Structure 1
Amino acid sequence: MWEPRVYIPVSIVAFTICVGIAAFATYMILWKKMNPHHGSISKKNVDLELQQLSLSVRTVSENKISFESSSHKLMVVETFTVQELTTATADFCSGNLIGGSVYHGRHKGKDLAIKCTDHSTISKIKFDLCNDSTHFHPNIVRLLGSCKAAESDSAYLVFEYAKNGSLKDWIHGGLAMKSHFIASCSCFLTWNQRLKICLDVATALHYMHQIMSPMYIHRNVKSRNIFLDEEFNAKIGNFGMEECVKDIPEEGSASAEPFSWDRGYNAPELIDKSSDAITKNSDIYTFGVVLLEILSGKPPVSKLEKEEGSVFLYNEIKLILESSDAAEKLRQWMDNVLGENYSFDAAVMLANLAKACVENDPLLRPNAGEVVQKLSKLVAELSEEEEQFTVGESSCKPLVVKPICV
């Protein structure tokens, strides 16, 4: 008797809901027909919001890049005034003379190496390489700035300061910065330090030859152009200055004396003019000569006593390694300041690597990457103990003397 009372309200509610849904659907269809562009407008609004968001993100990113770039601006070549450099070197006082035409200076709390030169040399330097922060490498000496005198041909180059001088000073002079920064003349590089220096230089060449694009050929890899910082990390100097390197002197000229050190670095293909262009293989050759200097402590070429002629390191190592008693001759040929404080097996490997680098045929020489790989293996085998400098039988760090001029 109560069932109709239940079903009738339920049916009315269901009918009302259905009618409401149908009405809403009809309304939406009619509304969309009357507003056909509403969807696209909404999409455009969404797209606009996304673009604004993207712009905001990009702006933040660009600001970050700009900020980072501003820090790199500290690495670009600056322009110094003559007065600034005169003050930095105490009027180019002889007490600040490092060697040749290079002076030690101090500017804004930083140590500098200031080279006196001329306008012509400045014009040959590839400042674009030095200004590009992507070409900064820890084993390359940085060119910090330059200066041109307005009333004369005098000009100056300002370099990163190498506290411990050149490799040449240490190998051939027994001290860094002769008579200037090192008080003791009996300091010399240990075997471990020599191997690390070899690896540092090879790493810089690998960067120039195989990482830089386009490839860069240094043309002047010599012990006098390899510098040592406070921690005795090696850095190659004269980066971006290959056009400043003088041409190889002709035979018979006054500068082409057989005992001239520069002749000891000349690759055969450059001497006999068999190649029209200097290649990266020429850099590998000169690097090989540097390896021989580090091993033997001898100059790249020396004059025979009481005889005419010269002795070249690249000839010596070939004769030694090809002899029947190569081991004994190599021991005698090694730098005597090392005594027995070196690994003979490593010395043999380094001597063979140097010999490969000074092959007459450029195509037989290893590339910089292969050299780095072999030297890395040698360095990895070294003791991890802290390296020290040896004086006599004891070890010490070099005694740094402050410049005379203030």
Structure 2
Amino acid sequence: MTVPCMFKGEHTKLNHILVLTPHKKSNMWNTELWVGLAGGIVGIFIAFGAVVLVIRLKNKKEKKGIGKGGDLELQHLNLSVRTTCDKKVSFEGSPDIVKGKIIDTTPRKMLLETYTIEELRKATEDFNSTNQIEGPVFHGRLNGKSMAIKRTNSDTLTKIDFGLFNEALHHHPNILKLIGRCSTEGPESYLVFEFAENGSLRDWLHGGLAIKNQFISSCYCFLSWSQRLRICLDVAMGLQYMHHVMNPSYVHRNVKSRNIFLDEDFGAKVGNFGMAGCVENETEDPLSYSTNPASWSLGYLAPEYVRQGTISPSIDIFAYGVVLLEMLSGQTPISKHNMKGEGSIWLTEKIKSLFKSENVDELREWMDSTLGENYSFDAAITVAKLARACVEEDPSLRPSAGEVVGKLSKLVEELPEEEHLFSESSTKPLVKAPLNNQ
């Protein structure tokens, strides 16, 4: 029969299958085991790598944060260094280093003192005439400190921008400091300024010498050439601060030799700062000139201010140019043409005619005779050209205060060594004279 044969074959095949299956299962299990172990190991490595990566990212972030702060500090430092360097070479910014001194332009609050009338009376010996400097201004001394006390009407105080002093005034060494004020119930009030030991520039140039208790009546005093150059530079630096550093820029509107004051070392300070609103209207009839010194103010007024009432830093530059002309010639801004007082000579017109003539001898003759030959004529020509530029009719042709500082700084640096280091002077000694000799 064929059936048993068939079963025999099937049996053989089945046996073969039964015999082989356990081995295959064992191999498959081993393979899966190894795959599982490999996968587990890979997973462990991935997990470990992920942990390491997280830690590294965290550390990197912390370091980046620290670095960012450090970079910020470095940026601030670099900015400070760069700004300082820029200021040294740029005259449009604050002159932070002048004559070897660093001028601090850090904002600081400067509150004005409030004085009582009793304190001011005590300081001036009840406004004794022996303490009178000039007009309504008295010399006072309170708590061992000298001061200049100016009597004014109470309405004037309302026109003063005291915010310049109370809020963010960076005190500049070439601006006369307002120390305090005194308000009364009456029509008069008082302003208290730092005391300028050597009076006003006008006094020195035009013979006023108003601080009577400081000078010998017979003393023939004048400013040397080196002193004049330094004074011109000081005033320019004060204007540079007002025009280029203050924000918004401040226009003084009353620059003149009478408002420039000299300390004991003949350093110059611009007075009446913050009082632009108090400037009297002197433009009503600029052509009617009298020999009264009060009328000299007309000679400082820029044409655009007279004609249109335009107020800009350029009008200060014009007035400054007139001060330069005073320093060069020793003459007043406006002077009478002849002994009879007929006609008048304006310094601004005189300097224009001198340059038109191109006669060097005329310029030399025009220079202040008190200087003699003790000055550099080349430097004088440079100053004269600068003054001529300052009093240009067109405001756009006038130099900025920064440009003026740049030119004058070079002239001061070129002064002879002995004059550069200290001011020798025909103006010293300044001693008190008996009051009855005045």
How high is the TM-score relative to the length of structure 2?
0.71
SS of the aligned residue for 1:340 comes to coil
What SS class does the counterpart of residue 147 from structure 2 fall into? strand
Q: CA deviation at 1:268?
A: 1.2
Does the alignment pair 1:124 with 2:159? yes
C-alpha change, 1:269 and 1:390, in structure 2 (3 Å) is same
Percent identity, please: 53
* SS of equivalent to 1:219: coil
Q: Contact (CA 8 Å) 2:212, 2:435: kept in 1 or not?
A: no
Is the counterpart of residue 223 in structure 1 residue 257 in structure 2? Answer: yes
Aligned length: 331
- Over aligned residues, Cα RMSD in angstroms? 2.8
Matched, 1:388 2:420: no
Equivalent residue in structure 2 for 1:290, among 308, 314, 323: 323
Find the aligned partners of 1:369 and 1:177 in 2 and give their Cα distance.
32
1:76, distance to aligned residue in structure 2 (A)? 2.2
98 and 276 in structure 1: CA distance in 2 versus 1, 3 angstrom threshold: closer
Separation (CA, whole Å) in 2 of partners of 1:165 and 1:286 = 20
Letter in 1 for 2:426: T
- Which structure has the bigger radius of gyration? 2
Instruction: Please tell me whether the aligned partners of residues 164 and 230 of structure 1 are also in contact (alpha carbons under 8 angstroms).
Output: yes
1:320 aligns with 2:354: yes
Query: Partner residue of 2:283?
Result: 249
| Aligned counterparts, 1:2-401, within 5 A | 75-132=110-167, 134-150=169-185, 152-173=186-207, 176-183=209-216, 184-251=218-285, 256-259=288-291, 260-271=295-306, 273=307, 275-305=308-338, 306=340, 308-325=342-359, 327-385=360-418, 386-390=422-426, 396-401=428-433
Asked if the contact 1:130–1:142 (Cα under 8 Å) also holds between the matched residues in 2, the reply is no
8 Å contact kept, 1:112–1:161 = yes
Could you tell me how far apart the structure 2 residues matched to 1:168 and 1:224 are? 5
Between 189-198 and 239-248, report the one with greater CA deviation.
239-248
CA contact (8 A) 1:79 1:147 kept: yes
Q: Judging changes above 3 Å, is the alpha-carbon distance between structure 1 residues 99 and 158 closer, same or farther for their aligned structure 2 residues?
A: same
Q: State the alpha-carbon separation in 1 of the partners of residues 286 and 177 from structure 2.
A: 37
Q: Which amino acid in the other structure matches residue 130 of structure 1?
A: F
SS of corresponding position for 1:390: coil
Shift of 1:177: 3.0
Which residue number corresponds to residue 41 of structure 1? none
Shift of residue 103 of structure 1?
A: 0.1
Residue pair 1:388, 1:397 contacting (<8 A) in 2 also: no
Cα deviation per residue 1:313-341 (whole Å; 9 max; x = unaligned)?
0111111122142x101110000000000
After superposition, the C-alpha distances for 1:320-363 in whole angstroms (9 at most, x for unaligned) are: 122142x1011100000000000000000000000000011111
Q: Deviations over 1:212-260 (max 9, x none)?
A: 000000000000000000111000000000000111231289xx53542
Deviation string 1:291-317 (CA, Å, 9 cap, x unpaired) is 000000000001122363210001111
Letter in 2 for 1:140: I
- Residues of 1 paired with 2:434 and 2:144: CA distance? 14
In structure 2, distance between residues paired with 1:133 and 1:88 = 29
For residue 230 of structure 1, give the secondary structure of its aligned residue in structure 2: coil
The aligned amino acid for 1:289 is V
3-state SS in 2 of match to 1:294: helix
Aligned to 1:45: none
1:169/1:177 contact within 8 Å kept: yes
Contact map agreement 1:105 1:112 (CA 8 A) in 2: yes
Q: What is the rounded CA distance, in whole Å, between the counterparts of 2:192 and 2:232 in structure 1?
A: 26
Q: Is the Cα–Cα contact under 8 Å of residues 198 and 211 in structure 2 kept in the other structure?
A: no
Residues 133-165 of structure 1: per-residue CA shift (max 9 Å, x gap): 543100000110001112x11100000100100
Unaligned stretches of 5+ residues in structure 2: 1-106
Q: Amino acid of the residue matched to residue 300 of structure 1?
A: P
- The alignment's TM-score, normalised by the length of structure 1, stands at 0.76
Tell me the amino acid that sits aligned with residue 383 of structure 1: P
| SS at structure 1 position matched to 2:175 | coil
Shift of 1:176: 3.7
Compared CA separation, residues 177 and 92, structure 1 to 2 (3 A): same
Q: For 2:190, what is the secondary structure of its paired residue?
A: strand
Give the counterpart letter for 1:85 in structure 2. Answer: L
SS of the aligned residue for 2:148 comes to strand
Amino acid at match of 1:182: F
Q: Determine helix, strand or coil for the equivalent of 2:417.
A: coil
CA distance in 2, matches of 1:215, 1:139: 16
Distance 2:300 2:117 in 1: 36
